[in-house]
């Protein structure tokens, strides 16, 4: 659904009631209705799916196989196009250069970052937390399809106790990525999880759902982290992956631009927080024999 269409529906109680009635119809009825109501949009979707064949077309995770939920596959084509959250491309490349040993992705959803970073960081262990169980089977299939299943572990809802356990056992350096629709306000609190002070974080903030959340997180981590504040920006036709989909950009430029719309309410921001505290040294154990006695020595 086009972002402008959905905004119009949300703003009208009558339209919203009609939409909810439409959602109750069988899928076999809804599908042809969508094609009739927005033929250009669904023609573009069909073309993209055919060209992409289940892979991301551009961006930092180009080539990744991704199994999107039905909602994402219709309304968030930026994941397939590779333009989703393109404001974070520099942050993603910085993450890859740092070579994190552990990635903890809270709010893994369709696996764009969890699976994508597992591919880009072949030595990293990735833990995905996702509260919606309908995402679990597609996430596991995507991990297998991309050859990262052995390094990917999936958990359910993440609470402070669970995050604390993961961080205490994580190989360093570790990174936390969070996109939890306002839940970051309660979860990402160093008073509850002190280990957050010693790891890096990439957080999507949701002030529309948790007012003042961005400024609160900045206040919490200002003493322990260098903070980069990243703001969302409008998409342009130049952002569209024209090399992979030249006909779509040429023949339907308006639709191509709308396909990259991420359906956000208000201004979107992210925080990239890099810990000022160096990670703890990594110790290995070596067993030696001294005069017939076995001695275990620790070495940095």
What does pTM read for this prediction?
A: 0.79
Least confident of 113-117, 223-227, 258-262: 258-262
DSSP 46: H
More confident: 115 or 44: 115
Q: Where are the alpha helices (DSSP H) in the chain?
A: 3-10, 13-23, 27-37, 39-52, 70-75, 78-81, 89-98, 112-120, 136-145, 160-169, 184-187, 213-221, 246-251, 253-259
Share of the chain above pLDDT 70, in %: 77
Indicate the pLDDT class of residue 159, thresholds 50, 70 and 90. Answer: very high
pLDDT at 81: 93
Is 236 a residue whose pLDDT tops 80?
A: yes
Locus of tokens 């076999």: 28
Q: Chain-wide mean pLDDT for the chain?
A: 84
Locus of tokens 């990239």: 272
Angle at 71 between CA 247 and CA 269, to 5 degrees: 85
Is 290 a residue whose pLDDT tops 50?
A: no
Residues facing 225 on adjacent strands = 275
More confident: 32 or 220: 220
* Nearest-angstrom CA–CA distance, 244 and 238: 13
What average pLDDT does range 264-276 have in this prediction?
Answer: 89
pLDDT digits (tens, 9 = 90+) for 37-75: 566 777 888 888 889 999 999 999 999 999 887 767 666
What average pLDDT does range 99-128 have in this prediction?
Answer: 96
Is 175 a residue whose pLDDT tops 90?
A: yes
Structural domains in the chain plus CATH codes: 86-232+267-300 (3.40.50.150)
Q: Distances from the Cα of 248 to the Cαs of 2, 33, 243, in angstroms?
A: 16, 23, 10
Helix (H, G, I), strand (E, B) or coil at 270: strand
Residue 39 CB coordination number (10 Å): 10
């Amino acid at each position: 659904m086009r972002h402008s269409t959905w905004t119009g529906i949300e703003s009208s109680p009558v339209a919203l009631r009609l939409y909810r009635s439409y959602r109750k119809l069988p899928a076999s009825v809804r599908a042809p209705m969508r094609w009739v109501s927005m033929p250009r949009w669904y023609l573009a979707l069909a073309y993209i799916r055919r060209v992409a064949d289940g892979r991301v077309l551009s961006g930092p995770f180009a080539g990744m196989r991704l199994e999107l939920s039905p909602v994402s596959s219709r309304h968030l084509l930026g994941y397939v196009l590779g333009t989703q959250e393109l404001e974070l491309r520099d942050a993603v490349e910085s993450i890859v250069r740092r070579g994190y040993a552990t990635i903890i992705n809270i709010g893994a959803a369709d696996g764009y970052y969890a699976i994508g970073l597992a591919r880009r960081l072949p030595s990293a262990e990735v833990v995905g937390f996702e509260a919606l169980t309908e995402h679990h089977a597609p996430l596991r299939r995507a991990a297998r399809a991309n050859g990262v299943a052995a390094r990917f572990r999936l958990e359910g809802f993440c609470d402070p106790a669970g995050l604390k356990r993961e961080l205490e056992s994580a190989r360093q350096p570790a990174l936390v990525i969070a996109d939890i629709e306002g839940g970051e306000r309660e979860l990402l609190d160093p008073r509850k999880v002190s280990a957050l002070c010693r790891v890096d974080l990439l957080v999507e903030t949701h002030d529309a759902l948790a007012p003042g959340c961005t400024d609160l997180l900045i206040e919490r981590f200002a003493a322990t982290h260098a903070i980069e504040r990243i703001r969302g920006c409008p998409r342009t036709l130049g952002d569209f992956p024209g090399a992979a989909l030249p006909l779509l950009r040429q023949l339907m430029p308006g639709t191509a631009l709308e396909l990259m719309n991420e359906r956000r309410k208000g201004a979107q921001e992210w925080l990239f927080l890099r810990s000022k505290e160096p990670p703890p040294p990594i110790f290995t154990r070596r067993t030696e024999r001294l005069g017939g006695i076995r001695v275990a020595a620790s070495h940095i």
